[in-house]
Structure 1
Amino acid sequence: MSTQISSQIMQQQQINKSIIRDFYRRAVAQGDIAFAEQVIADNYIQHSPGLKPGKAGVLEALHLMKQMPKPPATSTPFMRLIAEGDYVVTNLCFNWGGIQKVVVDIFRFEHGKVAEHWDAVEDQPATTLNGNAMMDGPIPVDDLALTTSNKAIARDAYQQIYIDRQRHRLPDFVLPDFIQHKPDIADGRAGLSDYLSQNSSSLSINRILLIVAEGDFVVIQSEGIANGKPAQFYEIFRLSESKLAEQWSVNRLTQ
């Protein structure tokens, strides 16, 4: 790939990030429906449960949100933005009615507009095994030159450890001081090992659906079974020293 093409791709990724950032700020927070109409494609595909299909479903939801009284903000919204190719992933949290909501959104762009969307939402529990919030930690993307290699490492790690559950491979892929934000997993490589050994009956991951990587962050969307029901899993990993260093996770049932 030529330097000029690579520069154009990176520039478009930053434009896509700006569109999504403005969508949250203007359309969601401020009720700017005209902006939403401008940036959402007419052939928009919606995968969020509870929303009507297509562009009309999003606009209807935004109209309803505009009419609802906004609860007072008790904390500054937290947002991480990760982009690769036609995809932008947001990892954010916000307080709604006294409940901390944790969200992963995946947006696909087509011809400069938002053409498809997936998401998962969970409530922050009162306590976690690791003592960490589901949403905190580093926000800026670093090590852009390592995007391709980090994506390959995360893909292999996810397949062999999270899907195939080859716990003996943990030292090859995971740092000893692995930082965990999934509430039911303890910190460290040992915490992940314990989790994988105890939860095979209640949670199984069948296959990877999508991987989006930028610098030291890699997002993996997968599907499987959680508590006996079909589910999708949205994992965000931060890599350091060519190994998994930190994990965030939000899941949702699909049926």
Structure 2
Amino acid sequence: MIPANNKAIVLAALKQLIGARNPDVTDTYVHDSYIQHSPLVKDGKTGLQEALQQLKKMPAAPAPATSPVVRSIEDGHFVMIHMDVAFMGKKMAVVDLYRLEGGKLAEHWDATQEQPGEVNITHGATTIEDLAQTVENKQLVAAFYRQPDAALLAPDFVSHDPLYTSPGLFDQLTVHRILGEGNFVMVQCSAERNGVNMVVYDIFRAKNHLLAEHWRVVQVIPAVMPHPNGMI
């Protein structure tokens, strides 16, 4: 039986579709009108099934000692998964964002960034707290994007992105979604830097009405993708 809440549905789907490499359960978890934004996968349920069949043919990696899922956020019909993934000899930080409809995955966005060898950019706090402050914390993050004021940062603020210098790092930055659950807030953006278009996913942890911790995953938008949907 599929779990009732959206986060549990997404985690169960990832475990079966990606972890167990079982494309036979696609109909169980994926909506018939599934929309794909990943730059590596064709559109629709058939595109996902094709990618899963290709994954099934690849040599299985040793089972990880722990789940690659580091933190997750559920906000209405959206679920974000932040992962630390070992793939093809590389360590990758990954953000997957899903929109659910009728208890099934209906739309998917993602971004993948290779982790620098000396830094793990997914480390840090993971426990969701302060559920009653979800709206306030989303408003706090929105205010920081309107005006990146250092007064909104905790005295011990830490970013796990070694290049982080606030949203002002980019020449242009457009916020598309702000999602939150308790003390964690995710921002989905499109950005431009030195003429290069990219997607940016920022994750913040709030504490005592200030921003206390930050993670980021950035991916350049390729010129050619296997669908017309874009990465945002």
Using structure 2 for the length normalisation, give the TM-score.
Answer: 0.88
Q: Distance in 1 between matches of 2:191 and 2:147?
A: 15
Structure label with greater radius of gyration: 1
What is aligned with 1:215?
182
Secondary structure in structure 1 of the residue aligned to 2:79: strand
Q: Which runs of 5+ in 1 are unaligned?
A: 1-12, 162-168, 186-191
Indicate yes or no: 2:217 matched with 1:230.
no
Q: Distance in 2 between matches of 1:234 and 1:205?
A: 14
Secondary structure in structure 1 of the residue aligned to 2:99: strand
Q: Percent identity over the alignment? A: 34
What is aligned with 1:4?
none
Letter in 1 for 2:196: K
1:48 to 3, 26, 38: 38
What is aligned with 2:162?
183
Q: Distance in 1 between matches of 2:24 and 2:61?
A: 23
Q: Is the 8 A contact 1:87 1:106 kept in 2?
A: yes
Q: Distance in 2 between matches of 1:205 and 1:219?
A: 19
What is aligned with 2:227?
none
2:140 to 130, 153, 156: 153
What is aligned with 1:126?
117
Deviates more, 1:229-238 or 1:71-80: 71-80
What is aligned with 2:129?
142
What is aligned with 1:111?
102
**CA-to-partner distance for each residue in 1:150-194, whole Å, 9 max, x for gaps?**
011111112211xxxxxxx212x1112111111223xxxxxx47x
Q: After the TM superposition, which residues 16-55 of structure 1 pair with which residues of structure 2 at under 5 Å, given as runs?
A: 16-55=6-45
Once the 2 structures are TM-superposed, how far is the Cα of residue 14 of structure 1 from its aligned partner?
Answer: 6.3
Q: Which runs of 5+ in 2 are unaligned?
A: 223-232
What is aligned with 1:91?
82
Q: Is the 8 A contact 2:4 2:103 kept in 1?
A: no
Once the 2 structures are TM-superposed, how far is the Cα of residue 24 of structure 1 from its aligned partner?
Answer: 1.6
Q: Is the 8 A contact 2:140 2:210 kept in 1?
A: yes
1:77 to 51, 61, 67: 67
**RCO comparison, higher one (Cα < 8 Å, 6+):** 2
Letter in 1 for 2:11: R
Once the 2 structures are TM-superposed, how far is the Cα of residue 74 of structure 1 from its aligned partner?
Answer: 5.7
Letter in 1 for 2:113: E
1:65 to 47, 55, 58: 55
Structure ranking higher in helix proportion? 1
**CA-to-partner distance for each residue in 1:10-30, whole Å, 9 max, x for gaps?**
xxx961111111112111111
**CA-to-partner distance for each residue in 1:29-75, whole Å, 9 max, x for gaps?**
11222222211111111000021111111111111111110222465
Q: Distance in 1 between matches of 2:216 and 2:39?
A: 19
How large is the RMSD of aligned CA atoms in angstroms? 1.9
Letter in 2 for 1:226: R
Q: Distance in 2 between matches of 1:14 and 1:216?
A: 23
Q: Number of aligned pairs?
A: 219
**CA-to-partner distance for each residue in 1:106-143, whole Å, 9 max, x for gaps?**
00011221111100001111235xxxx21111222111
Q: Is the 8 A contact 1:221 1:232 kept in 2?
A: yes
What is aligned with 1:5?
none
Q: After the TM superposition, which residues 186-205 of structure 1 pair with which residues of structure 2 at under 5 Å, given as runs?
A: 192=165, 196=168, 199=169, 203-205=170-172
Q: Is the 8 A contact 2:68 2:83 kept in 1?
A: yes
